[in-house]
Amino acid sequence: MDSYILVSNKKWHINLFEKLNKTYFKQKWILIDSNKNFNIENIDSIKPKRIFIPHWSFYIPNKIFQNYNCIVFHMTDLPYGRGGSPLQNLIVNGYKKTKISAIEVIEGIDEGPIYLKTNLSLKGSAREIFTRSSDKIFKMICQIIDKNLIAIPQKGEPVLFKRRNPEQSNISKLDKLDLIYDYIRMLDCEGYPQAFIELNGFKYEFTNVKRNKNNLEANVRIFKY
């Protein structure tokens, strides 16, 4: 019996794991959602045919991807957008849609050969986009398994993204409603530093933004920092 591993600690990928487990019931599926369990000793004990990584913020040990077929899903049309915070960097740069690239993990960050790409809309909050991407990734994984796809080297001039830091979530200097709207929605997901302003010793964090004709509505959490 073939074994497969899905690596993610995001809540929206629990449903992805369950769908894969149900679809490929003749294979063994294992979910790794903790970095302490993503080590070569544990992987060697499982001996998976493939390791699928839809979202992972930690370093992938060399011994794992050098000995096992690891496939990561990156939210850009590679080689454009190699690097961190792809969703936020895309929206800040004005993109309304992107592609998810399924790539083999190698030494260089996001430099691996590509199995396939699929389109993804960037409408809605970060949480909505990630949930939508999960459905896309399910179909991509099915294609990789069913068609036994072979990865092809990336072509084109790379464009690198830098991982965003929490201070870049400060929206106090933004001067357009569209920009404020994009900043709030692109950070509106657990695990991300939400859009904020600081005033008189208080911090205001914004979520659930809605755009009307001439204004924005959003939830705000206020606390002393």
Helix axis angle for 126-147 and 14-23, nearest 10°, is 20
Does 166-224 match 3-161 at the fold level? no
The residues spanned by each domain of the chain are: 3-161, 166-224
Domain 3-161 sits in CATH at 3.40.50.170
Q: Can you tell me the distance from the alpha carbon of 132 to that of 97, in angstroms, rounded to the nearest whole number?
A: 12
Q: What's domain 166-224's architecture?
A: Roll (3.10)
Q: Is the peptide bond before 79 cis (omega within 30 degrees of 0)?
A: yes
* 187, two tokens: 């950070």
| Distance from chain centroid for Cα 163 | 13
Work out whether strand 202-211 and strand 216-224 pair parallel, antiparallel, or are unpaired.
antiparallel
Which DSSP state fits 155?
-
Q: Can you tell me the distance from the alpha carbon of 142 to that of 24, in angstroms, rounded to the nearest whole number?
A: 9
pLDDT tens string, the chain, 225 residues long: the values are: 899 999 999 989 999 999 999 999 999 999 999 999 999 999 999 999 999 999 888 889 999 999 999 999 999 999 999 999 999 999 999 999 999 999 999 999 999 999 999 999 999 999 999 999 999 999 999 999 999 999 999 999 999 999 999 999 999 999 999 999 999 999 999 989 999 999 999 999 999 999 998 999 999 999 998
| Residues sharing a CB contact under 8 Å with residue 121, sequence separation 6 or more, in sequence order | 96, 97, 129, 132
- Quick count: other Cβ atoms within 10 Å of Cβ 136? 19
* 77, two tokens: 């049309």
Q: Can you tell me the distance from the alpha carbon of 39 to that of 17, in angstroms, rounded to the nearest whole number?
A: 20
| Distance from chain centroid for Cα 129 | 9
- Quick count: other Cβ atoms within 10 Å of Cβ 144? 19
